Structure 1
Amino acid sequence: MEANAPQFKLILGSSSTARRKILADMGYQFTTMSADIDEKAIRKEKPEDLVMALAEAKAEAIIPRVSIGESEGDAEPTLLITCDQVVVYEGVVREKPSSEAEARQFMKDYANGHAATVSSVLVTNLVTGSRRGEWDKVEIYFHDIPDQVIDKLIEEGIVLYAAGGLIIEHPLILPYVKEVVGSTDSVMGLPKALTERLIKEVL
């Protein structure tokens, strides 16, 4: 960050390792807090509306737990970043697989086909109350994915915790990714360019 950049505290409202890594790669120092919300209780027709509503619900859950020094007056602003992501396959929203069988079916569907990730980023300035959010969509096209690769991924288990059972940066999956239309960091859960812009907008 440049020397003249406004100083601010940053909280990442997510326990995702991938998001932590992306934010650290962007050069930010931050603390993390995760929102304990019932994501299944929030339902929207459109995936874009769903991820925005979930990012807002996470922000609402975390904000009351953050203490901000009121008396300091000119204290540096504290920004909270909350995010959500779903995978969309043939128009249907996919969340984390509920079983190994479902994860297997998800991956078989992607083979020789494509899926999209829809990610939301919401940045809230906890001092001014200013809030900006947007969603980002990435299309991912796949070659055929061999059964033994799918077996290995399920055995290892990480895909069971990923939206839509989709982890394109995984070394086992990478060779079968034909094309990514959009940014890889967005697929991993935090679109860098969008996050940078929203941070600037709320400061």
Structure 2
Amino acid sequence: MATKTKPFKIILGSSSLARRQILAEMGYEFKVMTADIDEKSIRKEKPEELVMALAEAKADAITSRLQTSEYKENDAEATLLITADQVVVYEGKIREKPSSKEEARQFIKDYSGGHAATVGSVLVTNLKTGTRKGGWDKAEIYFHEIPDEVMDNLIEEGIVLNVAGGLVVEHPLIIPLVEAVVGTRDSVMGLPKALTENLLQEAL
């Protein structure tokens, strides 16, 4: 797919490989920066509020590291910073990244033959104008039974320890075990394409 030539630059404020992959699929070129924030220090009751607050905190952390003056003076084009966050909601409870292998195993065991939802936020900050546009998206995932050996392999490999709720739907071992997704797969993976595209346009 040809890269879109756009009158703006993009910085993706995320270390997530899935988000990089999705943004590349959308046809954008971008730089990657990570926001090293203490996510556990931010607490909200509602998942939608939590993921928005975390995306804001990530944007604040990255913009404070950048010399925003250079983005404002360069009149040629705007630079748009995309930050995002995601949690898994299981039986009404918010799940973030597992704190241990044991917790990751319990999370995956819970999903076996059941279902969970993902709530993800996207925030686009126009570094030239300071404009911020954000939104959130939700998807539900229904699973077949997940065999023990699949759990063992996922935990051994370690990817599940670095994702919200230990949930990876795009993993080759999990793909055949997903019964249905209500919503879009890119939303489950952490960057809903339609929402992101709309917010990019709005932030301009």
TM-score of Structure 1 vs Structure 2, range by shorter chain: over 0.9
Q: Is residue 2:192 matched to residue 1:191?
A: yes
Q: Is residue 2:49 matched to residue 1:44?
A: no
Q: TM-score, normalised by structure 2?
A: 0.95
**Distance across 2 between alignment mates of 1:114 and 1:197:** 29
What letter is aligned with 1:156?
Answer: E
| Contact 1:97–1:165 under 8 Å retained in 2 | yes
Q: TM-score, normalised by structure 1?
A: 0.95
| Contact 2:84–2:123 under 8 Å retained in 1 | yes
How big is the shift at 1:65? 1.9
What letter is aligned with 2:15?
Answer: S
**Equivalent position of 1:155 in the other structure:** 156
Paired residues for 1:48-197 under 5 Å: 48-67=48-67, 68-72=70-74, 74-197=75-198
Q: Deviations over 1:120-158 (max 9, x none)?
A: 000010111111100000000011111111111111111
How big is the shift at 1:6? 4.7
Number of aligned positions between the proteins = 201
How big is the shift at 1:59? 0.3
**Distance across 2 between alignment mates of 1:182 and 1:62:** 30
**Distance across 1 between alignment mates of 2:71 and 2:145:** 54
Runs of 4+ in structure 1 off by over 4 angstroms are none
**Distance across 2 between alignment mates of 1:42 and 1:142:** 30
Structure 2's unaligned 5+ residue stretches are none
SS class of match (1:195): helix
Structure 1's unaligned 5+ residue stretches are none
SS class of match (2:117): strand
How big is the shift at 1:70? 3.9
SS class of match (1:138): strand
**Distance across 1 between alignment mates of 2:155 and 2:95:** 17
How big is the shift at 1:71? 3.5
**Equivalent position of 1:14 in the other structure:** 14
**Equivalent position of 2:29 in the other structure:** 29
SS class of match (2:190): coil
